[in-house]
Amino acid sequence: MRQSCILAALLVSSGACLAQSSVELYGIADLGLRATSGLSAKNTPATPGTATAVSSGVDNTSRWGFKGQESLGGGWKALFRLEGGINADTGTSAKSDRMFDRLAWAGLDSPYGTLALGRQTNLLSDALIPVDPLGKRDASFNPNINIAGLSNTAFGTHAFGRQYGPSGYADNFYRLDNTVKYTGNLGPWQARAAYSFGEVPGDAAASSSHGVALAYQRPDWTVSGATTQFRSREGMPLDAWTIGAALKQGAWQFKANAARNVAVTGTDKSVHQRVLSAGLSRALGQSLLVTTAWYAVRREATGLPDDGFDRGFLFVEETLAPRTTAYLEADYTVWRGDAAGLTASRPNDRHGTGLTLGLMQKF
């Protein structure tokens, strides 16, 4: 009830502000009918068998938000953005404890760059935008988002089991609270730097994060990378980096990326993760786009067998209108080591397949 009241107030206030400044309500509603074998409804390993579900956000994460800007003169602008995830299949918020779990920041844009303060994506995520083979589609199942970008490190026996940086969640550090981020552009170069305050009394380093990112962008090719260090509340480090490239040739586009992170999880204990990925996409005519991608994830943890998985994707997207896209998605996963795990003492299927027919609408 409280969130509904806040939402109503925001909608009313946005209508009043629209006449005075540039304020926009926007979002995505993405729903699909998904059939799986050897996977649960949350795309985790499952015992052999098939299942069918209505899934939200397979192509692009369902979300809603507000963004706005106001000119301050002399090339300066004030900016803000508030964005929350939606489970469109159930109508619930992606995070029950936050209305704007994805983004909540305000900042200044100037001839010298953009400075933003608040809850923002980490620099690994920013670096992946132009070079992820899937174009950051299928966020809940995309290894570059989950492993390279650190949005979900909880699966299997190799879970980190704690929070690094001020994300607010254990095993998810894709977005960080209390973040100051600077973005500057100079010709084809784009540089970013960010610091996230842990806000732990008496220990400035605890639960903090800092990093840098650099990209070189040309019309037909891009190179993009980032490195970031996160700290747990106990001061244990998580070091991560990612680097990738994209090349466009006519209707074809090739993308590849490599990423690695190492987390100290206890005394003489650590978890190492690495992701290699590559993909190819081709535009067919004015409205059809076909994208294929492959990801290899390998993990090592102190005292445990190595594990990981290989995962392939196929996306076929048809643009029906400027804001409406129909899509067909297929995926295939092979679990390595003991990554498949057990369900009620029964071994899970070592192979998982999924097929989704969906519709995405933007507003």
* Inside any domain, residue 260: yes
Q: Which amino acid is at 28?
A: I
Q: Output the 3-class SS for 10-75.
A: HHHHHHHHHCCCEEEEEEEEEEEEEEEEEECCCCCEEEEEEEEEEEECCCCCCEEEEEEEEEEECC
Q: What is the pLDDT of residue 44?
A: 87
pLDDT digit string, tens, across residues 306-344:
999 999 999 999 999 999 999 999 999 999 988 888 888
pLDDT digit string, tens, across residues 68-100:
999 999 999 999 999 999 999 999 999 999 999
Q: What is the pLDDT of residue 20?
A: 54
Q: Comparing 6-10, 14-18, 231-235, 347-351, which segment has the lowest mean pLDDT?
A: 14-18
How confident is the model over 143-160, as a mean pLDDT? Answer: 92
Q: What is the pLDDT of residue 100?
A: 98
Q: Which amino acid is at 317?
A: E
Query: What pTM, to 2 d.p., does this model score?
Result: 0.92
User: How many domains does the chain fold into?
Assistant: 1
How big is the CA angle at 60 (ends 148 and 126), to the nearest 5 degrees?
A: 40
**Percent of the residues in the chain that have a pLDDT greater than 90, as a whole number:** 86
pLDDT surpasses 80 at 65: yes
pLDDT surpasses 50 at 19: no
* Inside any domain, residue 4: no
Q: What is the pLDDT of residue 6?
A: 52
* Inside any domain, residue 15: no
221: Cα separation from own chain's centroid: 22
* Inside any domain, residue 6: no
* Inside any domain, residue 17: no
pLDDT surpasses 70 at 195: yes
* Inside any domain, residue 1: no
* Inside any domain, residue 7: no
Instruction: Tell me the C-alpha distance between 213 and 198, whole Å.
Output: 20
How confident is the model over 197-218, as a mean pLDDT? Answer: 97
Give the CATH number, domain containing residue 159. Answer: 2.40.160.10
CB 2 within 8 A of CB 322: no
Averaged confidence pLDDT in the chain:
93
* Inside any domain, residue 12: no
Domain residue limits at 41: 22-362
